[in-house]
Structure 1
Amino acid sequence: MFRPCTLMPLFLLLCTLVYPTPNRDPSTMKMFSVAHKTAFVVDHCPYMAESSRQQVECDVLTKSRAQGVIPLAPVSKSLWTCAVECSMEYCRILYDVYPLNKLINYIVSDSEFHILNTWRQEDQSTHELMSALAAVGPPNPREDPECCSVLHGLVAAVESLCKLTELQHEQRTVLMDTAERVANRGRIICLTNAKSDTHVRMLEDCIQETLMDQNKLAAGSDRLMAIQQCELVLVHIFPMGEDALVSDRPKKEISPLLTSEVHSVRAGRHLATKLNILVQQHFDLASTTITNIPMKEEQHANTSANYDVELLHHRDAHLEFFKSGDLHMAGSTSRDSGLKETVTLKWCTPRTNSVELHYCTGAYRISPTDVNSRPSSCLTNFLLNGRSVLLEQPRKSGSKVISHMLSSHGGEIFLHVLNSTRSTLEDPPSISEGCGGRVTDYRITDFGEFMRENRLTPVAETAPNPGGRFPADRAKAQLERYTRYWPMIISQTTIFNMQAVVPLANLIVKEALSEEDVLTCQKTVYNLVDMERKNDPLPISTVGSRGKGPKRDEQYRIMWNELETLVKTHAAGSERHQRVLDCIVACRSKPPEEEERKKRGRKREDREERPDKNGTKEPEDRAWQDSERLKGALEKEEQESEVIKDSPDSPEPLNKKPRLAIEEVQPSEKAKGPVSLLALWTNRITVANSRKHQEFAGRTSSVNNKAELYQHLKDDNGMDVHENGKASR
């Protein structure tokens, strides 16, 4: 059935185009999320020059090395190098998936802050950032630590978030009258080596004070904009083999303007994995691993091996998987903690013809997780040469399902979502049977009437608003009432197929009922009661059921249940709506004796309709059913003729018919086999005749089946009466 949420998006769009929206709350229509602006603050203090203690082997040619050559010693990166490399990977993934409108401002902090780029779109590239970082150079370990602090960069990050981006300035100019719709939100990611949890709280307090100060300055400036929301992500980096001095903490609200979270991560591959997870969380990304990719070996050109490549893309590429629940999730295959989850898709034979079109429902940019690895490089080069690769879902049994395709357009690689289910261009699927069926009994005529009753018309801004509500609000309220209960197909409803229910169905959806409306609804209910008393047939669908469908009593029970469901959804609207519901409940409740009588009738009908294996009934069954039918008729007459006594000892009235004992109808216990129909009919006539007159009193005092005449003559005259009528003394 239609729910309000089913029709509401289309209706809201129509309302936006037709009705004005004066005096609206701007907070419900604000633009720009936190992901629009991200400020990276990387600590450049002397302690960041400390080694990460993760060994990197430089001499890998151990087998081909000549004798006498001393192998190169392994090296380790500094905390600064690890922070720069991981943050650049964060930026690379972001720029690959979102080339526009997702901006990064990179700041380096030591004795002062160094802003490496601006919010302008031309400064958003990894090449610009790497060139600026090369100019900054590594941290100086001989510099005075007391003069260096990451606070300089955090303060500069808050000031940078107050500056307008090109897109924000454009939107404020377009929406000049309602510039408050443009919100200013941002995120600060700080990579540092904190001393303790107290040090972290001090940094949060400093950012909170800076936010308040900058908002005051932005209130009186046209070039600045106050910050409505700021997220702080503090990543504490420490060398491998040491204990973390800072504890992890989930997202916590420091103030209405600031939320903060803390991650304590070891340097090296652990830090790279953490930032990979963070970029997925911050920009709603998902991971897909392409398995069984055939590649030729470098050293053995005639052999090939299968490799896996992990790609990142927008989460909507897996939307169909999430809806259907057919999601093939796998844990991370990296050597770290394995917190990541990825969807596995298998490589199919690539299509050589790139002109071939496929029915796609979406295309999303991709970014390889390990861009410098040989499998990732071979895959990207293969796709950039104009080849397309189909991807299938891994299945243990059944035919394969091709759900995605990798292809490049204009030098960029996209993950295409192929339609693996029913096409929206085909006939509508069956609601009752699931995917693959056809439905021909949609309530098309009723839906057309529904649309006519909920049409929108243009309204002037100065039009009166009864009740203080805008026309769009009244229209949405009416649509919500009309769709509280609205079955979609004919076979799912009974009352909407009955002409007798039309007056009630049209009136019950009204916001307010008059007394005349209530009387009309009650009259409709009484007509339904009269139909049930007359045992009139109902338009019950027999789709999906065997035989003739439900019995007549079951049909009316279904009808009353659906009618009560319809009225219950509107009963809370007013007291008159509740009166209609009370009328339905009162008419549905029947006396217990009537229910018992109907139950016996249903059981009797079931026994009558129960055939044998050959489709016929045995003679014994027919005789037994005839006796049971006669017994039921006698019991009915007995109930109608029963007279209640005043007391247990009071005599029965003369006009009361003698009650028929069960033994008079049922055969003797000694009798075996079925009772003949003649015997049943004879008993029936005998009992009927016995009820037509009062029993002769003399018959009750007979001797040897002979009634004695003049019983009281001896007592009156003192004479003995013989059989011949002569008296003796």
Structure 2
Amino acid sequence: MKMFSVSHKTAFVVDHCPYMAESSRQQVECDVLTKSRGQGMIPLAPVSKSLWTCAVECSMEYCRILYDVYPLKKLINYIVSDSEFHILNSWRQEDQSTHELMSALAAVGPPNPQEDPECCSVLHGLVAAVESLCKITEYQHEARTTLMDTADRVANRGRIICLTNAKSDTHVRMLEDCVQETILEQNKMAAGSDRLMSIQQCELVLVHIFPQGEDTLVSDRPKKEVSSLLTSEVHSVRAGRHLATKLNILVQQHFDLASTTITNIPMKPTLNVCEQEEQHANTSANYDVELLHHRDAHLEFFKSGDLHMAGSTSRDSGLKETVTLKWCTPRTNSVELHYCTGAYRISPTDVNSRPSSCLTNFLLNGRSVLLEQPRKSGSKVISHMLSSHGGEIFLHVLNSTRSTLEDPPSISEGCGGRVTDYRITDFGEFMRENRLTPVPESPDTEASGKPPAERAKAQLERYTRYWPMIISQTTIFNMQAVVPLANLIVKESLSEEDLLTCQKTVYNLVDMERKNDPLPISTVGSRGKGPKRDEQYRIMWNELETLVKTHVAGSERHQRVLDCIIACRSKPPEEEERKKRGRKREDKEDKAEKSINKDSEDKNWQESERLKGALERGKEEQGESEVIKDSPDSPEPLNKKPRLEEIQLPEKAKGPVSLLTMWTNRITVANSRKHQEFAGRISSVNNKAELYQHLKDENGMDVHENGKATR
């Protein structure tokens, strides 16, 4: 890993040519004392800053934020370019301050509009910036001296930020080509010098500034690779507040910073937050202050996903995001200690605003401020604290979860006391299988290819590709039938015997599914008996396929195991249809089982009422028949209804009976009781009565239909 990133050295090149003296057309009101101004006083006319002034102010804000957050090892070299280049400071640490840069800029002065623009160019500053990046800083020299044997680990990388007013996209490409050629030339010179270092990587950030109210002549372009040594990006920004916002976003991107907005800051005299509020003792107001700091201060938020982001959008500057934290009433006891997991320097975004100055003065007086996460419900969670140490303000990250200083929880309790079904026994077996032992150096170990440590890491990686930690999250690791396959599939290569064992395991699972054997499916968090049997096997096959897929790239036999699983999972159509019918039948049985208790009482009551009514009607009909009969031989009246027990359904009739069938059976029974049935109709065959039935027995002859007899 090479030392020193691109952010170690930053070269600022600010164009000082005559066209930078043009007005930005953003008016600034100077006469703000409207009430105290006497009568007859002429108000002051608004003024506007030049492009040069806007560029200097915004670049100084960039430097101020950087020096506040990174007082060491983040260096800036400021260069002004007109007819020649002017280097305002060096890479030495004592020259890294905004006071030094402002004093040097005051000596340079504003651009001269009367100067010949043909003699001025920003190219002089770009060439000087590349030459400056080749110079060795104190930190690079110290690292190279310490690492004499591995001095090549000390990399030389840097960034160039150029603030100019380009003419067109062609002009921008010309500037990029100039920087690329200069890097190649300087690398050749640095190859034979001990005081220079070749540039391994350079980032060029071109910021095109144009007045408000005009259309830009240069289009934005994201970062692209010009060559292996140079990457370039272009930003076209209006002068004024848009340029300030753009550089504020760039400093966050370049140095891995984040934004935090402190909300609900009370400006009350009781808290002595702001002395100017003492004259308004009866009133109070809440203010917001935005702070910049290292991104690691929000690391716990990013891990947990509990971010409270507030974004502000701008057409020219893009999206700016900030994390919102609420002000808590400060503690008066400064001796109280808080368990912190990190402390990071802060820098106010608007350092000259009244709320920012009041907050910084309040903290520099030895007070501490606790910050909480805004929540709509639940208890208050204090996550950060603002406090000063040695005249510098730090944002402290407080531990809002279980402290690492406390006794660690027992694994039987689970993480947070909620998860308790860890695979503790399996994890112990896993540790035994991956135990490290010392290996003596020998020609055999060297000839085997990878060193023992690398082989151990590779084995550990294979074993952990798919390893569920909780019992309820797995099925196959709870089944004894899958153990042979699970132990063999993690091997780097499979033998033919191992392949046969894995295939045999798959076939055993297929046999279990055919027999409809139960599976150890967890029912934690589910209602009822859990998933149905088909769903259980589908979950099992999916997990088994996932396990094998993670090791398919090992060898060709691993792929054959996966092919076997896929082939066994795909059932023929008739098998799928049978399974579907079985599922439908199970659904019907479940529905019937649920409704049987509800409908049983109603059905019993209805059946009893129906039988009771039928018996009463039968008794009434029997009484009527006895009254009407004159003699035993008298025929029954035609309107007499048959008894209930006499109406019998045909034996072959099953299921519901139609009304016609019931009526036919009733007529048949009634007619059979009126007269004696003709004997020939009873003994008929195929609706034909046989004549001379006893003739054959008497004469021993067969009689046919034509009347002839045969012996």
Contact 1:253 1:259 in 2 (8 A): yes
Bigger drift between 67-76 and 704-713 goes to 704-713
Q: For 2:504 and 2:637, locate their aligned partners in 1 and report how far apart those are by CA, in whole Å.
A: 45
What are the Cα deviations for residues 624-674 of structure 1, in whole angstroms up to 9, with x where unaligned?
Answer: 9999999999999999999999999999999999999xx999997998999
Contact 1:631 1:665 in 2 (8 A): no
SS at match of 1:587: helix
Contact 2:641 2:670 in 1 (8 A): no
Distance 1:638 1:229, change over 3 A: farther
What are the Cα deviations for residues 365-410 of structure 1, in whole angstroms up to 9, with x where unaligned?
Answer: 2111111111100001111222222333444555554443322233
Per the TM alignment, residue 610 of structure 1 is displaced from its structure 2 partner at its CA by 5.9
Q: For 1:484 and 1:644, locate their aligned partners in 2 and report how far apart those are by CA, in whole Å.
A: 96
Contact 2:621 2:641 in 1 (8 A): no
Contact 1:285 1:315 in 2 (8 A): yes
Contact 1:627 1:680 in 2 (8 A): no
1:595 aligns to 2:581 (yes or no) = no
Per the TM alignment, residue 274 of structure 1 is displaced from its structure 2 partner at its CA by 2.3
Bigger drift between 137-146 and 596-605 goes to 596-605
In the other structure, the counterpart of 1:643 is 627
SS at match of 2:246: helix
Bigger drift between 488-497 and 193-202 goes to 193-202
Gaps of 5+ in 1: 1-28
Distance 1:391 1:490, change over 3 A: same
Distance 1:707 1:407, change over 3 A: farther
Contact 2:414 2:420 in 1 (8 A): no
Bigger drift between 120-129 and 431-440 goes to 431-440
Contact 2:642 2:669 in 1 (8 A): no
Bigger drift between 559-568 and 618-627 goes to 618-627
Per the TM alignment, residue 511 of structure 1 is displaced from its structure 2 partner at its CA by 1.4
Distance 1:335 1:345, change over 3 A: farther
Contact 1:657 1:691 in 2 (8 A): no
SS at match of 1:436: helix
Q: For 2:202 and 2:633, locate their aligned partners in 1 and report how far apart those are by CA, in whole Å.
A: 94
Distance 1:496 1:144, change over 3 A: same
Contact 1:317 1:362 in 2 (8 A): yes
Per the TM alignment, residue 186 of structure 1 is displaced from its structure 2 partner at its CA by 0.8
Q: For 1:248 and 1:262, locate their aligned partners in 2 and report how far apart those are by CA, in whole Å.
A: 5
Contact 1:428 1:439 in 2 (8 A): no
After superposition, residues 370-389 of structure 1 pair within 5 angstroms as: 370-389=350-369
Distance 1:684 1:658, change over 3 A: closer
What are the Cα deviations for residues 317-341 of structure 1, in whole angstroms up to 9, with x where unaligned?
Answer: 3344445555443344999977533
Contact 2:414 2:422 in 1 (8 A): no
Per the TM alignment, residue 617 of structure 1 is displaced from its structure 2 partner at its CA by 8.3
1:432 to 403, 407, 412: 412
Distance 1:394 1:684, change over 3 A: farther
1:624 aligns to 2:618 (yes or no) = no
In the other structure, the counterpart of 1:14 is none
SS at match of 2:641: coil
Question: What is the root-mean-square deviation in Å for CA atoms of aligned residues?
Answer: 11.3
Q: For 1:38 and 1:632, locate their aligned partners in 2 and report how far apart those are by CA, in whole Å.
A: 105
Distance 1:341 1:552, change over 3 A: closer
Distance 1:558 1:343, change over 3 A: closer
Per the TM alignment, residue 92 of structure 1 is displaced from its structure 2 partner at its CA by 0.4
SS at match of 1:566: helix
Contact 1:542 1:548 in 2 (8 A): yes
Per the TM alignment, residue 702 of structure 1 is displaced from its structure 2 partner at its CA by 8.3
What are the Cα deviations for residues 239-271 of structure 1, in whole angstroms up to 9, with x where unaligned?
Answer: 445554444333333322222223333333332
Distance 1:721 1:610, change over 3 A: same
Contact 1:113 1:152 in 2 (8 A): yes
Bigger drift between 99-108 and 421-430 goes to 421-430
Bigger drift between 71-80 and 645-654 goes to 645-654
Q: TM-score, normalised by structure 2?
A: 0.77
SS at match of 1:298: helix
Q: For 2:40 and 2:403, locate their aligned partners in 1 and report how far apart those are by CA, in whole Å.
A: 69
Per the TM alignment, residue 300 of structure 1 is displaced from its structure 2 partner at its CA by 2.8
Contact 2:313 2:319 in 1 (8 A): no
Distance 1:561 1:71, change over 3 A: closer
Contact 2:642 2:670 in 1 (8 A): no
Bigger drift between 543-552 and 224-233 goes to 543-552
Bigger drift between 103-112 and 613-622 goes to 613-622
Contact 1:623 1:676 in 2 (8 A): no
SS at match of 1:396: coil
Distance 1:616 1:279, change over 3 A: same
Distance 1:541 1:70, change over 3 A: closer
How many residue pairs get aligned? The number is 698
SS at match of 1:572: helix
Q: For 1:240 and 1:338, locate their aligned partners in 2 and report how far apart those are by CA, in whole Å.
A: 17
Contact 1:196 1:246 in 2 (8 A): yes
SS at match of 2:415: coil
Q: Which has the higher contact order (CA 8 A, sep 6+)?
A: 1
After superposition, residues 21-100 of structure 1 pair within 5 angstroms as: 29-100=1-72
Contact 1:250 1:262 in 2 (8 A): yes
Contact 1:231 1:259 in 2 (8 A): yes
Contact 2:212 2:238 in 1 (8 A): yes
Bigger drift between 471-480 and 683-692 goes to 683-692
What are the Cα deviations for residues 519-539 of structure 1, in whole angstroms up to 9, with x where unaligned?
Answer: 322333344455556655443
Q: For 2:301 and 2:633, locate their aligned partners in 1 and report how far apart those are by CA, in whole Å.
A: 81
Contact 1:430 1:436 in 2 (8 A): no
SS at match of 1:652: coil
1:609 to 582, 590, 600: 590
Q: For 1:251 and 1:647, locate their aligned partners in 2 and report how far apart those are by CA, in whole Å.
A: 121
Bigger drift between 259-268 and 158-167 goes to 259-268
Per the TM alignment, residue 122 of structure 1 is displaced from its structure 2 partner at its CA by 2.2
Distance 1:126 1:528, change over 3 A: same
2:547 to 521, 541, 566: 566
Per the TM alignment, residue 115 of structure 1 is displaced from its structure 2 partner at its CA by 1.9
Distance 1:692 1:649, change over 3 A: closer
Q: For 2:694 and 2:552, locate their aligned partners in 1 and report how far apart those are by CA, in whole Å.
A: 79
Distance 1:62 1:570, change over 3 A: closer
Contact 1:623 1:675 in 2 (8 A): no
Per the TM alignment, residue 84 of structure 1 is displaced from its structure 2 partner at its CA by 2.0
Q: For 1:303 and 1:467, locate their aligned partners in 2 and report how far apart those are by CA, in whole Å.
A: 81
Q: For 1:378 and 1:408, locate their aligned partners in 2 and report how far apart those are by CA, in whole Å.
A: 14
Q: For 2:407 and 2:661, locate their aligned partners in 1 and report how far apart those are by CA, in whole Å.
A: 66
Bigger drift between 390-399 and 227-236 goes to 390-399
Bigger drift between 225-234 and 597-606 goes to 597-606
Contact 1:49 1:138 in 2 (8 A): yes
Distance 1:719 1:524, change over 3 A: same
Bigger drift between 336-345 and 187-196 goes to 336-345
Bigger drift between 386-395 and 336-345 goes to 336-345
Distance 1:63 1:653, change over 3 A: same
Contact 1:312 1:369 in 2 (8 A): yes
Q: For 1:524 and 1:653, locate their aligned partners in 2 and report how far apart those are by CA, in whole Å.
A: 81
Per the TM alignment, residue 36 of structure 1 is displaced from its structure 2 partner at its CA by 1.2
What are the Cα deviations for residues 217-260 of structure 1, in whole angstroms up to 9, with x where unaligned?
Answer: 11112221111221112223344455544443333333222222
Contact 2:642 2:666 in 1 (8 A): no
Q: For 2:140 and 2:532, locate their aligned partners in 1 and report how far apart those are by CA, in whole Å.
A: 68
In the other structure, the counterpart of 2:657 is 675
Per the TM alignment, residue 213 of structure 1 is displaced from its structure 2 partner at its CA by 0.3
Gaps of 5+ in 2: 269-276
SS at match of 2:487: helix
1:576 aligns to 2:557 (yes or no) = yes
Q: For 1:170 and 1:534, locate their aligned partners in 2 and report how far apart those are by CA, in whole Å.
A: 75
Contact 2:552 2:562 in 1 (8 A): yes
Per the TM alignment, residue 67 of structure 1 is displaced from its structure 2 partner at its CA by 4.3
Contact 1:664 1:683 in 2 (8 A): no
Distance 1:342 1:409, change over 3 A: same
Q: TM-score, normalised by structure 1?
A: 0.75
In the other structure, the counterpart of 2:709 is 727
Contact 1:193 1:237 in 2 (8 A): yes
Contact 1:623 1:677 in 2 (8 A): no
Bigger drift between 146-155 and 666-675 goes to 666-675
Larger Rg: 2
Distance 1:583 1:234, change over 3 A: closer
Q: For 1:702 and 1:388, locate their aligned partners in 2 and report how far apart those are by CA, in whole Å.
A: 118
Distance 1:91 1:700, change over 3 A: farther
Distance 1:469 1:499, change over 3 A: same
Identity of aligned residues (%): 92
Per the TM alignment, residue 455 of structure 1 is displaced from its structure 2 partner at its CA by 3.7
